Amino acid sequence: MIARNWRRHLVLACSIKVNINVPSQAETLSKTKTGKHRTCTDLLDCAYCHHHQQEEAMSTVTAASPAAGSFCIPRSRRRINMPRFTMTVRSSNAVSVGVAPILTKFKHDCATPLPLLRHVADAMATDMRAGLAVDGGSDLKMILSYVDTLPTGNERGLFYALDLGGTNFRVLRVQLGGKEERVIATEFDQVSIPQELMFGTSEELFDFIASGLAKFAEKEGGKFHLPPGRKREIGFTFSFPVRQTSIDSGILIKWTKGFAISGTAGRDVVACLNEAMDRQGLDMRVSALVNDTVGTLAGARYWDDDVMVAVILGTGTNACYVERMDAIPKLQGHVSPSGRTIVNTEWGAFSNGLPLTVFDRDMDAASINPGEQIFEKTISGMYLGEIVRRVLLKMAAEGSLFGESVPEKLSTPFVLRTPDLSAMQQDTSDDLNVVGSILYNIAGVESNLSARKIVLEVCDTIVMRGGRLAGAGIVGILQKMEEDSTGLIFGKRTVVAMDGGLYEHYPQYKRYLKDAVKEILGLEKSKNVVIEHTKDGSGIGASLLAASNSKYEHDF
């Protein structure tokens, strides 16, 4: 509202420089207790609000010539006998226009128009072919899984699964009843991995995992008794790049997803786990080593024969698919009774033609694996929040997004997590209270409504890019499969099984992904492509593969 003593202010306004800014959407004036007018309400409408740090540089405002960024009080809102004049005002909901060019460039650099998506899909298919031709032929490793026969439904018995793929590991116990009963019962537990173990030694990590597995096994309660000489069998879902040499052995190539553990690269991870279980006195052995995407595909295929592709979108990301053996030139000496096998793409390493920003490059340079896993750093849950944090930090430092100072916590890497982005984007309140609360609690940020809207715009920009690029990657895999079997992919129902917390819990991400697939393929082809969420598919799939590759006859 107009200050009570408006006549005195009017005289001053007509005779001296007015040291206040323009509101963009507010049509009334107010003053704070200190006498300073508030900042404007909309960063894009006020051309001068970025001068709030340099009040002495404000333009002289006169009644005769309104300047850009100033406004005239409408006739309908003027008080009686109040002469027409112009002034600049500061409103409490304003954000500096210094943010505008940062936001504009960021959105431009993140853009994913249809031609770019098609290029990414084509490049993905090209890299897949090169990776299948020879080891090291492309960024995609295209690793043979040695899973030649998928579960049939005839499997019977009690099997365990261990799923290591991110900041948690899960243990599952599955009782299978064959064709008639299928999955009779499942139990699971989840254990968080202490951060120090992500940078420790191989023995420390696997001993911690084996200890958690032992505690879970104790809950079996003596319901199932093994014949003498037998061990419980486990399907080990290991979601890191390995060079598999058989269904139950694999050499670790390198750690990803934030892990940097010494003494494991070049070793057989199955042997590492078996040795740790022996140290715990567990009567268990690994009978199947699978990637999380391979486990997801196996678990989904158990219920639906049309599943041909599996994608994980969680802390990290990867994809696998069913490939014809004769389409793998680098494969020598391995014979599959089915003529097909599952190929683990390790698509997180893909990098061709991606729309990267300065924030992506800076984050990559500061990572533990600079220059690697670029696709993963662009689309996966571990990194989306960090990219947003870096954008907001620049906006705070150079555009005064959150006021005169830069919030100290905002300088902490990874303080803003992708689940926080999702929670903010679900906020439908008028004042965006959830957004404000998260910014304050997580990053120590005091924010007004305009700042919160900009934060949401940054979140949506990075999530849209991630979801659409993931969709383009899926199309690339389908295109590669269609080349080798014309009409057998786009000409019939083809299911892509999806798993991972990012896909499951971020509705906007899921929508952008599906929309991109439809946009690239077009209506006719996309109607046969079903993108389906598979809950806990990797763990159950691993236990099914342990059963189908069992050394024993299970009849208990």
Buried b (16+ CB within 10 A) or exposed e, 513-533: bbebbbbbbeeebbebbebee
Among 139, 248, 292, 420, the active-site one is: 292
Active-site residue, selected from the candidate residues 257, 480, 510, 525: 257
Q: How many helices (H) and strands (E) does the chain have?
A: 16, 15
Sign of CA dihedral 207, 212, 215, 221: negative
* Spatial distance between the Cα atoms of 13 and 99, rounded to a whole number of angstroms: 29
Q: Are 130 and 350 in contact (CB under 8 A)?
A: no
Query: Catalytic: 139?
Result: no
Q: How far apart are CA 212 and CA 208, in angstroms?
A: 6
Kindly report the backbone phi and psi dihedral angles of residue 450, in degrees, each rounded to the nearest multiple of 5, phi listed first: -65, -40
Instruction: Determine contact, residues 231/170, Cβ cutoff 8 Å.
Output: no
Compute the distance between CA of residue 235 and CA of residue 550 in angstroms, rounded to an integer: 10
Q: Is 257 a catalytic residue?
A: yes
% helix, strand, coil for the chain, step of 5: 40, 15, 40
Cβ-Cβ contacts under 8 Å for 265 (sequence gap 6 or more): 252, 253, 254, 255
- Please give, one letter per residue, the 3-state secondary structure of 41-94: CCCCCCCCHHHHHCHHHCCCCCCCCCCCCCEECCHHHCCCCCCCCEECCCCECC
Count of positions (residues) in the chain: 556
Helix axes 507-526, 449-484, angle to 10 degrees: 40
Helix, strand or coil, per DSSP, at residue 472: helix
Beta bridge partners of 268: 251
Which residues are part of the catalytic machinery?
257, 292
